[in-house]
Structure 1
Amino acid sequence: MDKHVLDQAEGLRRLLARDAPRVVTLVGGDEQAGTSSAVINLAAALARQGKDVLVIDEQCDAKSLIEAVGADRVRTLADVVAGKATIDEISAQFDERVRVIASPLGSLPAGRASETLASLNCGVDVVLIDAKVDDEGALSPIAMQANDVVIVMRANAQSITGAYACVKRLHFAHAIHQFRVLINGVTSASDAYSVYQNLTAVGSRYLAVTFSPAGAVSLDVRLARAALLSRTVVEAFPAAPATLDFRRIAVDLLHWPWRQPNQAPARGTTNRVASAPLASTV
């Protein structure tokens, strides 16, 4: 089909869906992936693009975004779905355009994901979910409603292995066939490319899944310095390499093709996938 026609069709879909926020789920391939840092810095970068962002924190532990921004962990997204509170009442304002709310894994009623999405249609442009998988490797009902699922990882062999294992669990639990990959802590573009190519080759061969690059974030000591100041690197150090990376990712995200949310199959209906050997070096 002609590219001009495709662009027109995409524009029409966005116009018709202009009141619905884009929902992006970010999930770490391993505990050291830096998912929460990626989420809040990406939110800040999107805010610099003039977008209103709602961040949903499913981690809700002592090192979570909720703790960092001083939000109330007692009142959660489940209270909004139940009609007991509004988004404004349970959210913490991180900056002028970014709000953060808690949604502990397992707190939302099963089978009400569509109602949850409706409750999020509150004037925000983008919803970012700092997702957590359950003991069976599955996402929460709201995280599964995302337009995009982004695997966050680092540029090392351990993280490649963890990312593949995460993709494998999500593919088995939800039959997800398309993922995006965000790589943290890269020292060069070639390192990021090698990691991405490695994961893509293994995923395509053993899982029949496809990957698209979400972007890469430079290894930058100012990320940690900003965190100590309870600020994002985007806000604290506007010219830092990591800031420029997050801003590029934010611009690209706003132009990702609009996908329908994934629908989870009944448990046990997806074929098990093969284990795969992974490269031990980046």
Structure 2
Amino acid sequence: MDKLISDQAEGLRRLLAKSGSRVIAVTGGTASVGCTTTVVNLAAALAQQGKDVLVIDECLGARSVGAALGGLRGAGNIAAVVRGEMHLDDAAARHALGFSVLTASRSDREGHSSAQLDVLLHGSADIVLIDAQLDPQGHLSPLAILAHDVMIVTRVAAQAITDAYACMKRLHYAHALAQFRVLVNHVLSVEDAHTAFANLAGVAGRYLAVALEDAGCIAADVRTARAQELSRCVVDAFPSTPAARDFRHLAAELQYWPMRPAMSSQTRWMAPATVTAAQHADQPSAQHA
């Protein structure tokens, strides 16, 4: 009987998870914490678990998803999708690992309304991962602000934690975000990750009244770097390693995160003057992290 109840509960969770595309924007305090690596490995792990995944790549150049995968052709033209001239599935490039990639440069993302950009997030994909590029002020793009969740990637190092706090502070004041998920990358132990998260959550709750949720951690693994050298991801190249297992665990867990309304439906953009005033009013900032 317990087995039957468990199977029924699992079936219900899966049914609820299919109620629409889950959109997650992934970013961090600095480029060195591994946001793009996280997006690529997470996409590969989700695809292995039978999910239809779309990666929207806002970061161009050497740190782009395409570069991490050794190059992708035809992963663009979001303007044609927004204008209704091309179907989303036709505009995105299909990678051999089973997920699709759509390049969204800053110029492609500008000049469109939220309703127009929303088309990019309501295709056939179960999960949309946005490798979010913050603007010079540290704010999300009009596309990334449509996500249901923002996941901040950080590391255990003190500077990385400080940078993550500063990133959340800017996003909080720019977009009135009150909640973030935190993934601690490149950790030597789960205990270190828990300590880093607890410290960050305490500071964010005290000085920003922002709630953090623990997205888990990814083990430090030399094969992650080796996979990058091979223009592959660790989930695909070295599936038995600790980092690959952690990415698969995260992929399985995030499918059952509570589905919140898109951030754009519960927040609004603050004027630059308002943002500046709010930031100056909150001086304890990152040094306490």
TM-score, normalised to structure 1, is 0.88
**Structure 1 stretches of 4+ moved >4 Å:** 11-15, 277-281
**Are residues 74 and 235 of structure 1, via their aligned partners in 2, closer, same or farther at CA, if it must alter by over 3 Å?**
closer
Q: Which residue identity is paired with 1:99?
A: S
Q: Shift of the alpha carbon at 1:95? A: 2.6
1:192 aligned partner:
193
Relative to its length, the structure with more helix (as a share) is: 2
Checking the alignment, whether the CA contact within 8 Å between 1:66 and 1:101 is kept in structure 2 is no
2:6 aligned partner:
none
TM-score, normalised to structure 2, is 0.86
**Are residues 19 and 96 of structure 1, via their aligned partners in 2, closer, same or farther at CA, if it must alter by over 3 Å?**
farther
5+ residue gaps, structure 2, are: 1-8
**Are residues 206 and 239 of structure 1, via their aligned partners in 2, closer, same or farther at CA, if it must alter by over 3 Å?**
same
Q: Shift of the alpha carbon at 1:20? A: 2.3
Q: Does 1:130 align with 2:131?
A: yes
Q: Does 1:272 align with 2:278?
A: yes
Checking the alignment, whether the CA contact within 8 Å between 1:19 and 1:121 is kept in structure 2 is no
1:39 aligned partner:
39
5+ residue gaps, structure 1, are: 1-7
The 2-side partners of 1:244 and 1:43 are apart by: 14
Q: Which residue identity is paired with 2:278?
A: R
1:64 aligned partner:
64
Checking the alignment, whether the CA contact within 8 Å between 2:23 and 2:121 is kept in structure 1 is no
2:3 aligned partner:
none
- Percent of aligned pairs sharing the same letter: 43
1:107 aligned counterpart, secondary structure: helix
Q: Which residue identity is paired with 1:272?
A: A
The 1-side partners of 2:178 and 2:187 are apart by: 26
The 2-side partners of 1:251 and 1:73 are apart by: 29
**Are residues 199 and 235 of structure 1, via their aligned partners in 2, closer, same or farther at CA, if it must alter by over 3 Å?**
same
The 1-side partners of 2:72 and 2:19 are apart by: 26
Q: Shift of the alpha carbon at 1:19? A: 5.5
Q: Which residue identity is paired with 1:40?
A: V
2:76 aligned partner:
75
2:31 aligned counterpart, secondary structure: coil
Q: Shift of the alpha carbon at 1:160? A: 0.5
Q: Which residue identity is paired with 1:253?
A: L
Cα RMSD (Å): 2.4
Q: Which moved more, 1:41-50 or 1:63-72?
A: 63-72
**Are residues 90 and 66 of structure 1, via their aligned partners in 2, closer, same or farther at CA, if it must alter by over 3 Å?**
farther
Q: Which moved more, 1:155-164 or 1:19-28?
A: 19-28
**Are residues 228 and 198 of structure 1, via their aligned partners in 2, closer, same or farther at CA, if it must alter by over 3 Å?**
same
2:54 aligned counterpart, secondary structure: strand
Tell me the number of residue pairs that the alignment of Structure 1 and Structure 2 aligns: 271
